[in-house]
Each structure stands twice: as C-alpha cells, then as structure tokens.
C-alpha cells in the first residue's frame, strides 16, 4: 500500500494535489488506473472537509473511478484496533467532542456532538467496562475512569486502506457536519 500523510493546520488546498501525484508516482500508476476513490466525510474541520471532498469529486470526474465516503470517527477508531469497545473522538471546541462508538469494528450508533463531561457516562450506558478513545480529542477525556485515550492526530493509513477496500461506492458523498460553522455574516 502506498500513502502519504502530512499533519497541517492550513494549506490543504495547495498540498493535496501534489501529495496525490507523489503517491501515484511512487505506486507507478496513472490516475486513470484508479479502481476506487475513498475520502473521509467527517465530522471534522469545515475547510478540511470541503477541500478533501472537492478534490475527491474532481478526481472521480477526471478518472471515472467510483467514489466512497468513510466516516472520520470510524477511521480513527479503526486506527486504534477493532477488537473490543472503541470510540473515535475529535475536539469540537467549546467543551464538546465529536464521538462515535464501535464494538469489534461495528458501529453502535451515529456520530454525535457531545459535551466532553458527558462522554464517560454515555459510553458506560452503551456498554460497561473500559473504552479506548482514539483521535485528536482523546486527551480531553483522559481523566475519566472508564477510558483509555489513544491520541492520534489523524487516522492511520493502514486503517484508511482497510476501510477504503470495503467501502461501498455511491453516486455522491456529502460531508457530515454536526454543528454550525463559527463564521457568521458581518452586519452591514
């Protein structure tokens, strides 16, 4: 498997196409040889989701390859291993996290925006015992007794590859937004 990951706060739109070209060159393939395109659909950063989805949809149009969406929280949880209880978690800011629970790699519900103070209780209500929490929001929940934080800035390429291989292509993919954007129109 070939892949490239580069943590970044800004500049996604400038780096994404060159990174994709580098991966294809390393694999010795042309974009016309793609058999499927998979993209994470969120939740996550508004700009990052829009940039990733726009690129994936453009690549689908150019290559003709089918497109599949992968939930970001699913990819984070899979990155920490699929055995047992695990939840993907991302800091949603303002004392909230995006959370989705899994058992042995199977979803136990939909992604949700939850108060960080309520996570331990919510997970205990889903299933008692220890939970692995994987993702960039795990550090916020390290104080709860029933959680083991697995701090990840992003899903691993291995987990993404496995999820992409089994993801079903659809006619279109849409972002998962669980809260309103921070940006508001200026009064005139």
In this prediction, residues 25-34 reach a mean pLDDT of: 94
119 shares a domain with 58: no
62 shares a domain with 46: yes
82 shares a domain with 28: no
126 shares a domain with 82: yes
Q: Using the 8-state DSSP alphabet, how is residue 143 labeled? A: T
Q: Which residue from 124, 90, 91 is spatially nearest to 108, judged by alpha carbons? A: 124
User: Which pLDDT score, from 0 to 100, does residue 182 have?
Assistant: 72
Burial 11-45 (b: 16+ CB within 10 A, else e): ebeeebeebbeeeeeeeeeeeeebeebbbbbbbbe
Is 67 part of any domain? yes
Is 28 part of any domain? yes
Which residue range forms the structural domain that includes residue 140? 73-151
| pLDDT per residue as tens digits for the range 55-73 | 999 999 999 999 999 999 9
Cα–Cα distance, 116 to 119 (Å, whole number): 5
Give the confidence band of 1 by pLDDT, cuts at 50, 70, 90.
low
82 shares a domain with 50: no
How many domains, the chain?
2
Peptide bond before 105: cis, by omega within 30 degrees of 0? Answer: no
147 shares a domain with 78: yes
98 shares a domain with 56: no
158 shares a domain with 68: yes
In this prediction, residues 97-113 reach a mean pLDDT of: 96
Task: Tell me: pLDDT of 120 over 80.
Answer: yes
pTM of the model: 0.91
Q: Which alpha helices (H) appear in 4-115, and where do they start and end?
A: 12-27, 46-63, 72-79
Q: Which two tokens stand for residue 177?
A: 């937004």
Cα–Cα distance, 41 to 39 (Å, whole number): 6
Is 32 part of any domain? yes
Give the confidence band of 47 by pLDDT, cuts at 50, 70, 90.
confident
184 or 65: whose pLDDT is higher?
A: 65
Is 4 part of any domain? no
């Amino acid at each position: 498997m070939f892949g490239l990951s580069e943590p970044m706060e800004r500049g996604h739109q400038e780096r994404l196409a060159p990174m994709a070209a580098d991966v294809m060159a390393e694999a010795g393939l042309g974009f016309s040889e793609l058999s499927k395109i998979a993209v994470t659909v969120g939740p996550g950063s508004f700009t990052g989701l829009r940039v990733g989805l726009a690129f994936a949809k453009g690549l689908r149009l150019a290559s003709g390859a089918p497109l599949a969406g992968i939930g970001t929280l699913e990819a984070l949880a899979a990155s920490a291993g699929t055995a047992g209880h695990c939840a993907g978690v991302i800091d949603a800011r303002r004392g909230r996290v995006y959370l989705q629970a899994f058992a042995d790699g199977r979803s136990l519900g939909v992604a949700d925006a939850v108060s960080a103070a309520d996570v331990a209780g919510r997970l205990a209500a889903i299933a008692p015992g220890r939970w692995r929490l994987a993702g960039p929001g795990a550090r916020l929940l390290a104080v709860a007794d029933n959680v083991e934080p697995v701090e990840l800035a992003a899903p691993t390429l291995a987990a993404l590859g496995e999820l992409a291989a089994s993801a079903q292509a659809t006619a279109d993919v849409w972002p998962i937004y669980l809260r309103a954007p921070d940006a508001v129109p200026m009064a005139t």
